[in-house]
């Protein structure tokens, strides 16, 4: 009889341990909880979020994960509030889409794994000196950096007679500053005058863009989230003035540009999602995971804008399927 009681006691303890174990790592309902803080909703960032979610669903199944998507409304303070809420909710992982979202998440927690995406340069975003490609601690992710020297060369290829280029960007976005600084140096090596035209937000974008269009032969815009959200303003100014715009990514190009050397933000997000699965399953240590980059850059052009400006598309460029 004692043996039977002992066996029953052991079985009860085992079942209890199994139940207890299944509730660890924030999975009280059997699901991984992932918080997504996205700086603002526009084509590129939306695609990255879609790719991220799909990769996780493909790997783990739709019933194994619960996504909490929050839009930062292009406000770093709102991103901080969202990130802190994720920490309070004890999510298993945070995906931070765009630089200010990553900065907010990094400030909110040093324990919960954070994966960034649509972030151009992590060393700049997180103020890491001598960045070697791995952030360390609880942060990793993917970068949307396309070769800036090739983008500078693209400007001169599309507009060979241009003597002055205006570099239009939001001064609040650290990675935008990084991009235009590099492109400026590349253009100046070619003897082209390159002038910075920083704006603070959408309220002064029209004024600064008009100034740039009045004084430059071409305008270049990097992968800038405020620009991406307001391409109509730029297009309405530059097209009537016959000033071509070369863009850092496809979404911006489709709204106001003539050409771009762009990556697939969906694929970038998908890669980020695959990284997340490895972390959640305990197959990888985020502190040792290097930043991953897009494997392919595709040269594309905006057919409608090229026709409006009388520009003949260069060979090797593919038309963007849906322009403005």
Can you give the three-state secondary structure of 208-235, one letter per residue? HHHHHHHHCCEEEECCCHHHHHCHHHHH
Structure confidence at residue 322 (pLDDT):
55
What phi, psi does 198 have (nearest 5°)? -80, 140
Residue 15 has pLDDT above 50, yes or no: no
The rounded percent of the chain whose pLDDT value lies above 90 is 87
Residue 132's pLDDT band, with cuts at 50, 70 and 90, is: very high
Q: For tokens 């762009």, what's the residue?
A: 262
Does residue 235 share a domain with residue 219? yes
Assigned domain for 13 exists? no
Does residue 188 share a domain with residue 119? no
Does residue 162 share a domain with residue 230? yes
Structure confidence at residue 14 (pLDDT):
42
Q: How many angstroms separate the CA atoms of 246 and 219, rounded? A: 6
Could you give the number of structural domains in the chain?
A: 2
Assigned domain for 6 exists? no
Does residue 193 share a domain with residue 306? yes
The pLDDT mean for the chain works out to 91
The closest alpha carbon to 47, from 38, 34, 58, 56, belongs to 38
298-301 and 259-262 beta bridge pairing:
antiparallel
Does residue 105 share a domain with residue 124? yes
Structure confidence at residue 146 (pLDDT):
86
Does residue 270 share a domain with residue 251? no
Residue 106's alpha-carbon distances to 41, 113, 181, 260, 276, in angstroms, are: 21, 10, 25, 31, 16
- More confident site: 3 or 124: 124
Q: How many angstroms separate the CA atoms of 238 and 63, rounded? A: 48
Assigned domain for 288 exists? yes
Does residue 184 share a domain with residue 305? yes
Does residue 123 share a domain with residue 248? no
Q: For tokens 């715009």, what's the residue?
A: 245
Residue 296's pLDDT band, with cuts at 50, 70 and 90, is: confident
Do 183 and 194 meet the contact criterion of CB atoms below 8 Å apart?
Answer: yes
Assigned domain for 16 exists? no
Q: How many angstroms separate the CA atoms of 180 and 198, rounded? A: 10
- 323 CA to centre of own chain: 21
The H or E element spanning position 32 is: strand 32-38
Q: How many angstroms separate the CA atoms of 281 and 261, rounded? A: 35
Residue 323 has pLDDT above 90, yes or no: no
Residue 149 has pLDDT above 90, yes or no: yes
Q: What angle do CA 107, 251, 297 make, to 5 degrees?
A: 85
Q: Which of 12-16, 141-145, 170-174, 196-200 has the lowest mean pLDDT?
A: 12-16
Does residue 280 share a domain with residue 253? no
Q: Rounded to two decimals, what is the model's pTM?
A: 0.83
Q: What is the CATH number of the domain that holds 62?
A: 3.40.50.2300
Does residue 77 share a domain with residue 196? no
Does residue 175 share a domain with residue 156? yes
Range of the domain at 45: 31-144+265-293
Assigned domain for 4 exists? no
* 241-256 average pLDDT score: 96
pLDDT in tens, 82-93: 999 999 999 999
Assigned domain for 22 exists? no
pLDDT in tens, 93-112: 999 999 999 999 999 999 99
Residue 177 has pLDDT above 50, yes or no: yes
pLDDT in tens, 18-72: 333 333 344 556 799 999 999 999 999 999 999 999 999 999 999 999 999 999 9
Does residue 114 share a domain with residue 153? no
Assigned domain for 324 exists? no
Q: How many angstroms separate the CA atoms of 168 and 251, rounded? A: 16
Assigned domain for 132 exists? yes
Q: For tokens 């207890």, what's the residue?
A: 20
């Amino acid at each position: 009889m004692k043996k039977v009681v002992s066996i029953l006691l052991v079985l009860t303890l085992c079942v209890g341990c199994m139940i207890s174990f299944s509730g660890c790592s924030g999975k009280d309902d059997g699901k991984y909880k992932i918080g997504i803080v996205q700086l603002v909703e526009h084509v590129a960032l939306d695609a990255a979020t879609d790719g991220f979610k799909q990769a996780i669903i493909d790997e783990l199944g739709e019933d194994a994960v619960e996504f909490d998507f929050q839009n930062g409304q292009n406000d770093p303070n709102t991103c901080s509030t969202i990130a802190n809420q994720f920490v309070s909710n004890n999510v298993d992982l945070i995906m931070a889409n765009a630089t200010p979202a990553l900065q907010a998440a990094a400030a909110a927690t040093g324990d919960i794994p954070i994966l960034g995406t649509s972030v151009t340069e992590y060393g700049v975003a997180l103020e890491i000196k001598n960045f070697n490609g791995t952030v360390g601690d609880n942060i990793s992710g993917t970068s949307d950096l396309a070769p800036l020297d090739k983008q500078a060369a693209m400007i001169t290829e599309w507009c060979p007679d241009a003597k002055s280029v205006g570099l239009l960007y939001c001064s609040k976005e650290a990675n935008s500053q990084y991009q235009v600084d590099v492109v400026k140096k590349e253009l100046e090596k070619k003897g082209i005058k390159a002038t910075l035209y920083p704006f603070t937000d959408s309220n002064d974008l029209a004024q600064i863009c008009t100034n740039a269009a009045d004084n430059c032969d071409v305008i270049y815009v990097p992968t800038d989230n405020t620009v991406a959200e307001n391409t109509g303003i730029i297009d309405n100014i530059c097209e009537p003035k016959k000033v071509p715009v070369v863009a850092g990514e496809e979404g911006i190009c489709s709204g106001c540009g003539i050409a771009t050397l762009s990556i697939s933000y969906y694929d970038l997000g998908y890669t980020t999602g695959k990284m997340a699965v490895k972390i959640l399953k305990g197959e990888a240590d985020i502190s040792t995971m290097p930043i991953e980059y897009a494997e392919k850059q595709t040269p594309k052009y905006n057919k409608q804008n090229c026709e409006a400006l009388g520009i003949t598309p260069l060979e090797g460029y593919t038309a963007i399927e849906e322009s403005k």
